Amino acid sequence: MQNSFPEKEILELIKIQKKFYRNLADTSVETLKLLTISEEDLLKRVRLDNSLTLKYHELGYPVFGMTSHFCNWEWLLVAGSNTLGLELHAVYQKLNNPFFNDLMKQIRSRFGVALHEKNVAVRDLMKMKGKSYLMSMVADQRPYSGENRYWSVFLNQDAAFYTGTELMARRMDIKVIYASMKRIKRGYYEVHFEDLELSPKNTSPNEITEKFIKRAEKDILRDPTSYLWSHDRWKFKKPKG
């Protein structure tokens, strides 16, 4: 946090840290609650502005959706299952622990989201040509060591990013939208969607990724307590040279 907000005093950073831990505890409990909560109750707590996704549904377009580890991204996914108009799919990173991997798959797919493990997502997408859908990605994941990565500056620090979403969008010329989530009060959220890139095939390399980074930063600067600071975003250091 000191690296991300060099202009803030230590006391302010301590306040942000304390509120972050409370939000993290809430997010953990909320995510487990997805095992039992009704769709009706969930939608009372997550209000989604689906005007943009309904427009793309009516036009018959597929779209890619990008978001970050902000507020409760798990609630965002599950709440969108049957409310966005578009058939909802999501790319996920398989967890090493089989129990927790199966648990998260159960949670995320409970109301009908179709899940695609990262390593087979491209293959699955090729089978969906001609369909109207929203493919969702939490796009600020930290790449593992040895994987292809794009280095940029994220919150004043060098950070590596996956570029899979951008590569697929440019290759297939699929429009990209951004999901912005806002914590209204404890346990209640609002979500709106906005266009991030309308003509991917005409972009230069890494342009879409950079647009995502800047848009995610805007949300985090608005409410730094709602970002997942504990997920080791800057664990790997940029190679010299």
User: pLDDT tens across 170-184, in order?
Assistant: 999 999 999 999 999
Measured CA to CA, the distance from residue 22 to residue 25 in angstroms comes to 5
Q: What is the pTM of this model?
A: 0.95
Domain boundaries, given as residue ranges, for the chain: 10-226
Residues 6+ apart with CB under 8 A from 74: 27, 30, 31, 34, 107, 108
Residues 10-226, CATH architecture: 3-Layer(aba) Sandwich (3.40)
Residues found in the chain: 241
CB 62 within 8 A of CB 171: no
CB 61 within 8 A of CB 132: yes
- Confidence category of residue 209, pLDDT binned at 50, 70, 90: very high
CB 79 within 8 A of CB 72: no
For tokens 């942000």, what's the residue?
Answer: 16
Residue-wise pLDDT for 60-74, tens only, equals: 999 999 999 999 999
Measured CA to CA, the distance from residue 23 to residue 185 in angstroms comes to 11
Residue-wise pLDDT for 26-38, tens only, equals: 999 999 999 999 9
Nearest by Cα to 142 from 131, 154, 156, 132: 154
DSSP lists the bridge partners of residue 150 as 161
- Helices and strands (H, E) in the chain, number of each type: 8, 9
Residue-wise pLDDT for 87-112, tens only, equals: 999 999 899 999 999 999 999 999 99
